[in-house]
Structure 1
Amino acid sequence: MIERLSKQDSKLVMAHMYVAISCLILGGLAGLLQTFVRSGMLQLPKSISYYQILTVHGIVLALVLTTFFILGFQYSAVAKTCGNLTPLQRRLGWIGFFVMLIGTVMAATMVLLNKATVLYTFYAPLQAHVIFYVGMALVVVGSWISILGQILKYVEFKKQNPTKKSPLLSYMVTINGVMWFVCSLGVAATVLLQLIPWSLGLVERVDVTLSRTLFWYFGHALVYFWLLPAYMCWYAIVPKIIGGKAFSDNLARMSFMLFLFFSIPVGIHHQLVEPGIEDFWKYFQVILTFMVVVPSFMTAFSLFATFENHGRTLGFKGLFGWFKALPWNDARFVLPFLGMLAFIPGGAGGLVNASAQMNGLIHNTIWVTGHFHLTVASAVILTFFGMMYWLIPHCTGRKLTKFTNKLALIQGYTWAIGMTIMSAAMHYVGLVKGAPRRSTYSEYGGAKQAAEWIPYQVLQAVGGTILFISIILVVMVFIQLAFLAPKGEEEYPVAQSLDEYQPVTKLVENWRFLIVVTVLLILIAYTVPIGQMFIDPPPGAKGLGEGKLW
């Protein structure tokens, strides 16, 4: 393990961070405008549609910001734990970065020109300009190139150290990279083989059922592509920040192995109310979805075991005495911890979404939006902010000062307060009042039911305003740490585990076994449902690609 990243590797990491912070500003502004429009407090000019800013908010934050941040962090993680990147690995990182950047500019331009107002999921029959689809395809292809460089670093370490177990962070990065490559094949297939030919007019129609299924083959695993880097921080970095040791290296590896197995063959649980898929396969994937609860509980146990063990080694006693041992004045710990807390109700809401009967109650209500904001926009993004506050000064050769740390703490608490207000209002009005997602105030038409929703939309606007203030604070901290803070050495914290020198659990690093099981589960879960879309098209359709838009 090296002490600090090289200047060349730091530049690669920071390039990703600059794009991520730019996306946060643009996407956050779009989100703020959404809350004002929904509550009736703002009317957009006729040249800008509500669904245009909704598309900007979803795609720029959920797809672009997260991808750039994750790939930048993962490059730093493999370089830190396995040694500086080779010229080839670094070149792959830069090629991937620029391919993604070009794709992002192409897609964003079409959205801003109102030629790709197709929302975050870009479902057919909504159609975008072909440049949008090509841009999104380039973002995916660029991410594959970047991930190849990261995996090559892991492979290099294994070849040079055949008798040693790989560093935990490098193993986690490789698991996430393999999972991302396998799941993103779905969205790449629907974009390249269906949506681009359709948008060019080469084909008249597309199979909507197939395109949605391919999207959700990718779409649910995307959630874990967001979550696993946060888990990397919780497992391997937070213990070092608090001054302790991680509870178990082997438990962490096993949980990531299970995430690889069960994060992909579960996308149909997003399609429980859709026709064209047999109920058996819907319920089968619901069962697989609930299997993901196991590594999630393993993670929760490991984290709080780490905290308790550390507190007791410092002499704290009692059931919760160890709680006092945690560094509550350190933003690098507090923000990820707030993310952990947010994931408790976020994970519980996920169980509701994946449950067949309960899903019928909240499906397509704003409850689902509230759930996303507890998971990716709270648990994940708060952890990412906490990671930025040591990663950026480490890469720029600066220090996290007391003043900047206090500003970062205010930013974290402000985000938590704003998101609590906004997400709670979304959950309540969606569950109790049945308020729909993706709707504007003007579409309510003055109905009595709409009048009941308005107070909760105002609460969402209040929460959104607080969140935008928090975004301003994030940008201030980022600028400080990237350009203005005093020169110095900021640690890249990587913890040892209590079982650091124990051998790896059998099969956990057997990649032939991991890939075979992953592919087998995907084939079992998807072969028949997708095959039936070719063999038994819905009524009125002659065959795949020959019927109407389904």
Structure 2
Amino acid sequence: MNRLDSRLSLAHFYVAFSAIIVAGFFGLLQTMVRSEMIVLPSYINYYQLLTAHGVLMALVFTTFFIFGFLHACVVKTVGDFSVGTRRTAWIGFYLMLIGTVLGVIMIVIGEATVLYTFYAPLQASPFFYIALALLVVGTYFAGAADIYQYNKWRKANKGQTSPLLAFMTVATLVLWIIATIGVVATVLFQFIPWSLGLVDTINVTLSRSLFWYFGHPLVYFWLLPAYMAWYVMIPKIIGGKIFSDSLARLAFLLFILFSIPVGFHHQLLEPGISHGWKFFQVVLTFAVIIPSLMTAFSLFATFEVRGRNLGAKGLFGWFKKLPWKDVRFFAPFMGMLMFIPAGAGGIINASNQMNQVIHNTIWVTGHFHLTIGTTVALTFFGVSYWLIPYLNGRVLTKRVNGLGIYQTVLWLVGMSIMSLAMHYSGLLGNPRRTQVTNYNGHSVAEGWGAYETAMAVGGTLLLISLILYFVVLIYSAFYAPKGQEEFPIGEVMDAKLKVPSFLENWKVWIGIAVVLILFAYTVPIIDMIQHSPPGSKGFKFW
């Protein structure tokens, strides 16, 4: 990659790493407050910490890292950005950065203590909602640069199958653009007019539904870049090959279809939505298991074939042949393994009767810490260990690799302790989103003290791991020996098999997605609007 495009990706990564270290510190403070180990000074509100942790970790860290990664994948596979395309991508970066800074300022000064879900009737400063809009609009500019580059390659190479990484990048962006329609609609037409005083009331059910139209595919926006590393880069790192190009593309397309029209499964206990529509969206939610199982099959087929080629015998002999001492493999693979209990927890969350057991308990928080906090974070860590040196013209040294293994193990242990305590105490009724103030006449720590202490212990290990990660990244970016690190892109196991052309017919797949979305949401949203409380000034039907 040329230096100009490398700087673009690096700028995104530096913001992402800054966000995660601050978010980690706030997360530890939260656990210590809940366990009554510390008392916050009067000028800090617990819910400010909660909001900052969620926004910085779930939105800022992930979004900046993902777009830095996607830019690198596109440039590496379909060619350097032109001056105009690169300028568009930089505009996106600065809009995202301005939105991030403005949003964090609002949280710090106490004008946006609304959590990362910003549920109404909690109200923030209009500047917080404007900040969210700037962040999303910035991603549109960044995504436009990548999609334009992909289309440019296809026009110059008519009849040829596009590089798998570029295809996956576009699939991720298609999912993101369709999904953000919901959050853009609720921010622009509901929250901003409401926070500015242009309307007196807000349709709470509609705002939450539009948020979760975005909120669930947001999880797959986090996951698909991790899947890109699993499908394409891990095979190269272990010395194997991609099991199937066509299967990988189909899995990504199915994620677009099945991950967007499913937001109601986050609202199973909310009024204002009929049980029939909730049932329909739960069915679509469980359909997303299909591409997940396709991914698991493909990846473990790659591992087994590679192990057999190295002489592995027996049912699980190939497991021993994997490069466990290579952090580029070890960190993402640990993320894959932790996705198994994370997926099982997701099935429970989306199941009507079981959801009633864990609804609004800290079990749900534990689930998020397994998905984004473990699966996604560990994969992104593993990618950054080789990508940061690559972009800076340096190499991944043996010492950094060893420290990366330790950092990964620390993260695994800390997150396992924390998430296990969250899941188990959630089954006992431990509430989420709470401070240590009275809950049914008792403090949180009084009822679940041992579990809260375990969370604080896990959070401490996580912060230590983050500090180690941050130090290692600084060394890798600026002080590691100069050289050329590998950008691992795997080859297909059977390159003679032609990828079906319909897999790149975007009009068809986007059309199917739109039909599913319209079917799942049109009638419920009309009902929410028609039966909304009266009394708003202007924008009445909102």
Q: TM-score, normalised by structure 2?
A: 0.98
Q: 2:92 aligns with which of 90, 93, 96?
A: 96
Question: Shift of residue 450 of structure 1?
Answer: 5.4
Letter in 1 for 2:13: M
Contact 2:201 2:535 in 1 (8 A): no
Q: 2:322 aligns with which of 321, 326, 334?
A: 326
Looking at structure 2, the residues matched to 547 and 37 of structure 1 have their Cα atoms a distance apart, in angstroms, of 41
Count of paired positions: 542
Farther off after superposition, 98-107 or 527-536: 527-536
SS of structure 1 residue aligned to 2:438: helix
Cα deviations across residues 304-332 of structure 1 (Å, max 9, x unaligned)? 00000011111211111111111011000
Partner of residue 542, structure 1:
534
Farther off after superposition, 81-90 or 54-63: 81-90
Alignment of 1:50-129 (within 5 A): 50-129=46-125
Q: 1:213 aligns with which of 209, 215, 237?
A: 209
Letter in 1 for 2:90: W
Partner of residue 257, structure 1:
253
Cα deviations across residues 318-357 of structure 1 (Å, max 9, x unaligned)? 1111111110110000000010011000000000000111
Looking at structure 1, the residues matched to 103 and 442 of structure 2 have their Cα atoms a distance apart, in angstroms, of 36
Alignment of 1:132-147 (within 5 A): 132-147=128-143
Question: Shift of residue 93 of structure 1?
Answer: 1.1
Question: Shift of residue 247 of structure 1?
Answer: 0.7
Letter in 1 for 2:410: T
Farther off after superposition, 209-218 or 440-449: 440-449
Question: Shift of residue 87 of structure 1?
Answer: 1.5
Letter in 2 for 1:336: P
Q: 2:505 aligns with which of 492, 501, 510?
A: 510
Partner of residue 522, structure 2:
527
Matched, 1:418 2:409: no
Matched, 1:493 2:485: no
Cα deviations across residues 160-195 of structure 1 (Å, max 9, x unaligned)? 111110000100000010110011011011111110
SS of structure 2 residue aligned to 1:64: helix
Question: Shift of residue 26 of structure 1?
Answer: 1.0
Letter in 2 for 1:497: V
Alignment of 1:112-511 (within 5 A): 112-431=108-427, 433-444=428-439, 447=442, 451-511=446-506
Letter in 2 for 1:503: K
In structure 2, relative to structure 1, the CA distance for the partners of 1:81 and 1:159 (3 Å cut) is same
Farther off after superposition, 233-242 or 448-457: 448-457
Contact 1:444 1:450 in 2 (8 A): no
Question: Shift of residue 448 of structure 1?
Answer: 8.5
Looking at structure 1, the residues matched to 423 and 450 of structure 2 have their Cα atoms a distance apart, in angstroms, of 13
CA RMSD of aligned residues (A): 1.6
Mind listing any 5+ residue stretches in structure 1 that lack a counterpart?
Answer: none
Letter in 1 for 2:524: P
Looking at structure 2, the residues matched to 154 and 502 of structure 1 have their Cα atoms a distance apart, in angstroms, of 22
Mind listing any 5+ residue stretches in structure 2 that lack a counterpart?
Answer: none
Contact 1:407 1:477 in 2 (8 A): yes
SS of structure 2 residue aligned to 1:508: helix
In structure 2, relative to structure 1, the CA distance for the partners of 1:501 and 1:84 (3 Å cut) is farther
Question: Shift of residue 480 of structure 1?
Answer: 0.8
Letter in 2 for 1:510: N
Contact 1:213 1:268 in 2 (8 A): yes
* Identical positions, percent: 57
Letter in 2 for 1:20: A
SS of structure 1 residue aligned to 2:503: coil
Letter in 2 for 1:437: R
SS of structure 2 residue aligned to 1:162: coil
Question: Shift of residue 546 of structure 1?
Answer: 8.8
SS of structure 2 residue aligned to 1:442: coil
Q: TM-score, normalised by structure 1?
A: 0.97
Question: Shift of residue 547 of structure 1?
Answer: 12
Letter in 1 for 2:22: L
